[in-house]
A and B are shown apart, each in its own frame.
Chain A
Amino acid sequence: MHESGSPTDAVPGVDARESIRDYIEANTSALGAGELRDDDDIFDKGFVTSIFAMQLLAHIENTFDIEVPDDYLNLQRFSSVERMVEMVDELRAVPSG
């Protein structure tokens, strides 16, 4: 699980893990999928449908002020909180522009 000192904490601004978790929880189907774990596959476990991937992408790009490049655009990278945090960390580490 998340430990302080991870790359996410090292980057100033929004905490990626908390923000992504909150966003998924706020958008989880009310018909219920149980408690969200950071390594749950959110599509397989029915927290959200694959259409939500587009919304997650917009959320991630807006919140962390990054642009997710084409070769990151597959469902695997968006499939769990863990994987999205990894992706945000990677992209934040790349100087933009």
Chain B
Amino acid sequence: MTVLAVTEHRRGELRDPSFELITAGRQLADDLGGELHLAVIGGDVDGYADQLNREGVDAIHTVAEGEEFNHDIYTQAVTAMAEAHEPDAVLMANTVNGLDFAPAVAGQLDVPLVTDAVDFDASGTPEITREQYGGKVETTVDIEADQFALTIRPAEWAKAEGTGDAEVAAFDFDLDESAVRSTVTGFEEVGSGDVDIADADILVSVGRGIEEEDNLPLVEELADALGATLSSSRPIVDNGWLPKNRQVGQSGKVVTPDVYIAIGISGAVQHVAGMKGSDTIVAINTDPNAPIMDIADYAIVDDLFDVVPELIEEFGGEAP
């Protein structure tokens, strides 16, 4: 009985989900009554293995193939490893790269895949907890199979600590070069600009609730009146209403202001990833069940078009 967890790194650094995978992997291995093995693929695998050798890890398999993540190599390596060690579960992170290779691994192994787990209980038939409808409901799915693949939501499990005494060994397999048909040619940082929203003490953040670009001056005016910086959720940037450097979230910026005022933002997991570290979160939203309410400290359940003009007035501004 083993769990094989596939770690992630980028540009020379292990990513946080790698350490979260150890915690979740240990939990899963305990449920199943077995060992936790890690896979480390590409780059400085020995250096990574050292850092990953934390409490609860039984074995680390390294594959020194490629520098960075390449899904063709990852898929082949993990598939070969799973065939050699026959783990009951292959655990991966529900990151952008996780989305890029987990379904292929599941397909190669011909095992079921469940993604974006926020919890699980595998002491009997594995039961996975997920969210649906933008986080408004939770579901459980059961997996009736001897072997399965699972991806876990980032930041749902704590990062593993402590030092372990895992056995570290290179895993040998024959990479089929002809099946490597994608090539990573580089990386680029995007979204820098005149303003760094990560520096702001107070953020007025606007979401799709604002409806139209023409309504944006309303929140701009509020930000001005408060001496705050304007940021937004992704759809505002997707629509081209604000530049990329204003986007808060998983693919945008991580911010930690004293006060974050989320106006017409539902609180999708990828948005929350960027702002949950704010000292105080205030939500203005018509929907009392919006997921943002779960992390808000203060909330106004009302129409932003009624509340924001009043707020502007409070601070001596004039609603446009």
The finding on whether chains A and B are genuine partners in a shared complex, rather than unrelated, reads: no
Task: Show the binding face of A for B, using Cβ within 8 Å.
Answer: none
